[in-house]
Amino acid sequence: MKNKYKKYLSIFVVSATALFVTNALIASTELLGKQAPDFTLRSDQGDNKKLSEYRGKVVLINFWASWCGPCQQELPKLAELRQLHDQYDFELLAVNIDEEPEKALKLANKLGINFPVLFDEEKRVSKLYDIDAMPMTILIDRNGDVRYLHRGYKESYLSLYQQQIKKLKYE
């Protein structure tokens, strides 16, 4: 009798997990093709940055945390990517979710980050964008629409980002 219940319990757990993962993926991908939610966050440069001020540019937003190993691998690569594009028509924003911005600043300086680091200590923007993975990268077109969304980090993403940025710049 006990084995029978264990079997049903394991089926339930697997089904519930699949449903949770599916719902998280749907929540984030609901943004695709829609206007990117606007936000204003304090930056490492001491001023506030507002997403809508970048309208007319292609914007890459990278959500990251100092405790995230893949984020630490990706950030220097994003700095290289940033150098390949004219600031006139492209912007890269790194939205950090650490509760202590000092940790983010220390890591950003260590890694040589050459783009604005924004602080989302209260996770308001992360919730607005349904961030469910670290890092998470979102590409926004010149009209302010979310066009691409990437979870995690793979070395191959960088060439993909490059292709997608070029495509968005010339649309």
The chain-wide mean pLDDT, for the chain, equals 86
User: 121 and 140 share a domain?
Assistant: yes
Count of beta carbons in the 10 Å neighbourhood of residue 59: 22
Residue 26 is predicted with a pLDDT of 38
What CATH number does residue 102 fall under?
A: 3.40.30.10
Domain count, the chain: 2
User: 11 and 92 share a domain?
Assistant: no
Residue 41 and residue 71 in contact, taking contact as beta carbons nearer than 8 Å: no
User: 138 and 62 share a domain?
Assistant: yes
Residue 88 is predicted with a pLDDT of 79
User: 77 and 108 share a domain?
Assistant: yes
Q: Give tens-digit pLDDT for 67-115.
A: 999 999 999 999 999 988 877 799 999 999 999 999 999 999 999 898 9
- For residues 127-140, average pLDDT: 95
User: 2 and 77 share a domain?
Assistant: no
Which of the two residues, 45 and 20, has the higher pLDDT score? 45
- The residues, ordered by sequence, that sit 6+ positions from 110 with a Cβ below 8 Å of its Cβ are none
- For residues 109-124, average pLDDT: 93
Residue with tokens 């009209």: 143
How many Å apart are CA 98 and CA 20, to the nearest integer?
Answer: 25
Residue 1 is predicted with a pLDDT of 52
User: 126 and 143 share a domain?
Assistant: yes
Residue 69 is predicted with a pLDDT of 95
Of 113, 90, 134, nearest in space to 43 by CA: 113
Residue 2 is predicted with a pLDDT of 58
What domain range includes position 52? 32-169
Q: Which two tokens stand for residue 8?
A: 């049903």
pTM: 0.82
- For residues 45-58, average pLDDT: 95
Residue 168 and residue 58 in contact, taking contact as beta carbons nearer than 8 Å: yes
Residue 23 has pLDDT above 60, yes or no: no
Residue 126 is predicted with a pLDDT of 96
User: 22 and 40 share a domain?
Assistant: no
* Confidence band of 31 (pLDDT split at 50, 70, 90): confident
Residue 30 has pLDDT above 90, yes or no: no
Residue with tokens 């993926």: 25
